[in-house]
A and B are shown apart, each in its own frame.
Chain A
């Protein structure tokens, strides 16, 4: 249940962030907005780690180095997203992004290349994914 609440809050924050980035981007530029929001976010997150005396950063050397660069994807994500928006506009871009996001996530979890998950995909799960896809197309 706690996971569901986190996931719902994550979605709400994403929408708020999208609106904020659009507003900031239109007054100072997209790259400046991305650098500003993530830079200030980093400073605040760093302060949280410091205030909580969270020492788990010492465990980062146990992580396979390539995984540490996940955050850097943000720049490529932003670039491809902006390009797609310019060509096709919001509706088609948003639906294509979300549908590919869920499709690739299911593929990656099912493939097991990122480890210990057990995802069972029966008829109901495929039907559920299909309905979500159609829902996204109707909403965008």
Chain B
């Protein structure tokens, strides 16, 4: 069964990647705010539909809510807007590499502090090496290819300048 789990995880990553490309296509015509609203609206409809398919009426049963739950959507706005803008300015591969590195390093930092209700996880030498490799990999990825006449350059994708 383990291989099935790995396949599901690989599918997850591929879908995230395709979604990023789709969102960027939307952002070529519409502003990043409109793109964010559309992406979250679609995500809401699809998640609610899946919830109803899997759980039926139980999906609507009321459960105890803490007040801050209602503001969790603001994080989604932060994610979509920042990633869409990053991809537009840097191109998908470079932007996604930085997003991933930042995601891992923030998790490492906040885990080891035990912030935001995260379970406190000890900072080990293995993790220090991981963080170092991640950062070195990112720098190397952005290094100029040896046979390139010009540095990686993005063609302008959108008229919207500041986003």
Q: Chain A: residues with CB nearer than 8 A to chain B?
A: 2-4, 6-21, 23-24, 27-29, 31-32, 34-46, 48-49, 52, 54, 56-57, 59-60, 62-64, 66-81, 83-84, 86-88, 92-93, 96-106, 108-109, 114-125, 127-139
Contact = CB atoms under 8 A, between A and B. Distances in A.
Given A6-B82, A13-B78, A56-B160, A41 B137 contact: no
A17 B55 contact: no
B122 interface: no
Nearest to B39: A71
Given A11-B99, A35-B47, A139-B127, A122 B146 contact: yes
Contacts, number: 437
Interface residues of B, number: 121
Interface of B: 1-2, 4-6, 8-26, 28-31, 33-34, 36-51, 54-55, 59, 63-66, 69-80, 82-83, 85-86, 88-93, 95-108, 110, 116-118, 126-127, 129-148, 152-155, 157, 160
A44 B77 contact: yes
